[in-house]
Amino acid sequence: MTESSVHPALWPAPHATGAVDATVTVPGSKSVTNRALVLAALAAEPGWLRRPLRSRDTLLMAEALRAMGVGIEETVSSSSAVTGGPEASGEAWRVIPAGLRGPTTVDVGNAGTVMRFLPPVAALADGPIRFDGDPRSYERPLDGVIDALRVLGARIDDEGRGSLPMTVHGSGALDGGPVAIDASSSSQFVSALLLSAPRFNQGVEVRHTGARLPSMPHIRMTVDMLRAVGAQVDEPETGGEPNVWRVSPSALLGRDLTIEPDLSNAQPFLAAALVTGGRVTIPDWPERTTQPGDALREIFTAMGGSCELTERGLTFTGSGRVHGIDVDLGEVGELTPGIAAVAALADSPSTLSGVAHLRLHETDRLAALTKEINELGGDVTETADGLHIRPRPLHGGTFHTYDDHRMATAGSIIGLAVPGVEIENVATTAKTLPDFPQMWTGMLGV
């Protein structure tokens, strides 16, 4: 069966006829899975990843590491019926570090974590590693990583583009040391250098020199995960110098890590409770986490819902009304498309700010959201660093996704309240959320 027969080019977004009431099991975090794969590949001993996310981005990461010589053995349990998603508790990946080597070619797809986290790993390999990917990957900024690696001693051939495609000529080691970068276009520039830094001869000192650094929770995630495998990290949040991170050279431990559910991928399901005045429970929501998606508890509560965190997980309940919001999303920019979709259905205007960097994500998300919501009858205006959304009665139509998974889920949220919305290429959700269409219809009992 072809992908097009499973997910047609235009997918009729299900329209909710009443309040949803569902438990949705969300697969593991992409951000945690891909960081864990890199750290396990650089460790001094084998490790385990339990309940990893199996999606396009994580499988691209695993295949890239395998191409460089890392052993990754998958144990996959048979699926069983669980409301809203696949059962993954029996799945585990065993990561067996090995001597990194080339020559080989890495396909990054359009995965920011793969295109940015792996060039520093490739600099430690013995031999050339070529990086290539989807056409959109050529347009995404990579200069922060490329320039920093050159300062730290790597040889990289990118023909002066500062972007893909490129070749990292690994020499088996990297000097490391101090480097200054402007990471205002992507926090992944910082995380990329920190993840491999324990293996650099001098470790690394990364100094951010640009404007506001976006998506700080993702850097906190990187730091926490480094410390969990034995790395020594000095950072601003624990009394260090502002905008400076230092990682000492050291061996990394192999760990047995269970991956948290992806809280950002829980967003459309929580939004469904808010939009329909219903109730959705996400099992295994962590009490403490560095995931940006945890901010949804506060944001969606302010927009008209309520939540309760128990041993079972997070239960979010809509009140039957959706309110506009004025919110700075600079630290949690990936939540913007879903929040914009909810805001388009609210009873008052919203202003979403702090997210100018979204113009450089899988697509220009600010332009895309403005165009697609407005073509359904909305009134969205781009600002210098975000969106201003004035709710209007919406109508059906095609919601284009631009090969962006979060555009597809945003359109699906609108479709709950607006009949006749069709999502173009809903299959793009496989980037981070496999089986989204089935999970969505399962939540609605369709």
Q: What amino acid positions are annotated as catalytic residues?
A: 334
**CB contact at 8 A, 256 and 229:** no
Question: Which stretch of DSSP H or E encloses residue 276?
Answer: helix 267-276
**Tokens of residue 61, six digits:** 């990461």
* Half-sphere exposure at residue 353, Cβ-oriented, CA atoms within 13 angstroms: 7
**Per-residue b or e along 103-131, where b marks 16 or more CB atoms closer than 10 Å to that residue's CB:** ebebbbbbbbbbbbbbbbbbbbbebbbbb
Residues 50, 267: Cα–Cα separation, whole Å: 23
The whole-angstrom separation of Cα 269 and Cα 240 is: 38
| Cα(437)–Cα(14) distance, integer angstroms | 9
HSE value, Cβ hemisphere, 13 Å, CA-based, for 311: 0
Collapsing DSSP states into helix, strand and coil, what is residue 401?
Answer: coil
Amino acid of residue 200: F
Structure letter (DSSP) for residue 375: H
DSSP string, 187-220: THHHHHHHHHGGGSTT-EEEEE-SSPPP-HHHHH
State the residue for tokens 């259905």. Answer: 345
The answer to whether the Cα torsion of 296, 299, 303, 304 is positive or negative is positive
Bridge partners, 126 (sequence order) = 101, 171
Q: What is the DSSP string of 294-350?
A: GGHHHHHHHTTEEEEE-SSEEEEEE-S-----EEE-TT-GGGHHHHHHHHTTSSS-E
Query: Is there a contact between 285 and 307 (Cβ–Cβ < 8 Å)?
Result: no
CA distance 147 to 189: 10
